[in-house]
Amino acid sequence: MSTHAEVAVLGGRGKTGRAVISALQGAGSSARALGRAEMADLPAALSGCRALYLMAPNMAADEPGLARAVLDAARAAGVTRVVHHSVAAPYAPDMPHHLNKAVVEDLVRRSGADWTILQPCAYIQNVLPGLQGERPAIDIAYDPDRVFGLVDLEDVAQAAATVLLADEHVGATYELGGPDQVSMRTVAAIAEEVLARPVRLGRLTTGQWSAGPGADLDPREREWLLAMFSYYDAYGLPTGGGPLRALLDHPPSDVGTVLRRELA
């Protein structure tokens, strides 16, 4: 595939999508965002694109339905290359939004396209909103000592651009964890060092979370997030760092590096 072919990025105006488009542009490729407006006329939105970055919105109600519609339109538009933004441990039946990504992985593998699947862990950037306030805090509704292969969103985006622009990744599924398996207790300690201020690590009960940070959510999203917290509480989300290290042209960023960069 030409390295300058246009890539359609589903969810390209969201948090991850903006980072992916910027990484693609940095690699010399043009990219086009697909969102709610473009869903009304997918053939027009996909016309002229060589590749599709298939990324559903966070906690999408019907991720397989959305993926099916976009994959069908991509096939009809002659898009031959598809990279799917999945998640670490997609086949986790206790987490509906993970399981939906496992279903989409199957759709992608049987789509007829030249596919690659990326399985990122949770982003380090997810803790930033709580750390940017007057009283920095990390509030979670799961065991602060469970570990996660937290990953830098910028590194994920760069890996996405790399696989989108090189055919050697066709048929590959890459788990994308950061360089360390870290607990939220460790993240809070690193944040204290970076900010040179105390960081409160709050352990909420699921009831407190539902009445607090989760109160205004759509009930289905709240239920799915509670299912995720319950899984995290029991197992964390350990995610290997080897594939990301191999895809990047620099060492993957650890928690301290990302927090220093983002909170400076």
Ligand X SMILES: NC(=O)c1ccc[n+]([C@@H]2O[C@H](COP(=O)([O-])OP(=O)(O)OC[C@H]3O[C@@H](n4cnc5c(N)ncnc54)[C@H](OP(=O)(O)O)[C@@H]3O)[C@@H](O)[C@H]2O)c1
Does residue 120 bind ligand X (CB under 6 A)? yes
**Furthest C-alpha separation in the chain:** 55
Q: Which two tokens mark 87?
A: 């998640």
- Sole binder of ligand X in the list 57, 65, 96, 240 (CB under 6 A): 57
**Interaction of residue 95 with ligand X, rule CB under 6 A:** no
Amino acid of residue 65? G
Q: Which is nearer to ligand X, 1 or 64 (CB)?
A: 64
Using the rule CB under 6 A, which residue among 5, 8, 9, 16 binds ligand X?
16
| Contacts with 248 (C-beta within 8 Å, 6 or more apart), sequence order | 155, 158, 159, 162
Among 6, 27, 35, 183, binds ligand X (CB under 6 A): 35
The reply on whether position 110 binds ligand X by CB under 6 A is no
- Is residue 55 near ligand X by the rule CB under 6 A? yes
Does residue 81 bind ligand X (CB under 6 A)? no
Nearer to ligand X, 20 or 137 (CB): 20
Q: How far apart are CA 141 and CA 139, in angstroms?
A: 7
- 8 Å CB contact between 36 and 14: no
d(CA 166, CA 170): 8
| C-beta atoms surrounding 249 within 10 Å | 6
Segment lying near ligand X (by CB under 6 A), choices 6-14, 42-50, 137-145, 211-219: 6-14
Residue 252 touches ligand X, criterion: CB under 6 A: no
Examine residue 243 and tell whether it contacts ligand X (CB under 6 A).
no
b/e per residue, 26-36, with b = 16+ CB within 10 A? ebebebbbbee
Q: How far is the CB of 225 from ligand X (least distance, A)?
A: 11
Provide, rounded to whole angstroms, the least separation between the CB of residue 172 and ligand X: 17
| 69, two tokens | 């519609």
CB distance 100 to 57 below 8 Å: no
14-22, 23-31, 131-139, 253-261 -> range binding ligand X (CB under 6 A):
14-22
Residue 185 binds to ligand X (criterion: CB under 6 A): no
List CB contacts of 1: < 8 A, sequence separation 6 or more: 50, 51, 80, 81, 165, 166, 167
Q: Using CB under 6 A, which of the segments 55-63, 71-79, 108-116, 197-205 binds ligand X?
A: 55-63
For position 65 contacting ligand X by CB under 6 A, the verdict is: no
The residues of the shown chain that bind ligand X, judged by CB under 6 A, are 11, 13-16, 35-36, 39, 55-58, 66, 85, 87, 120, 122-123, 126
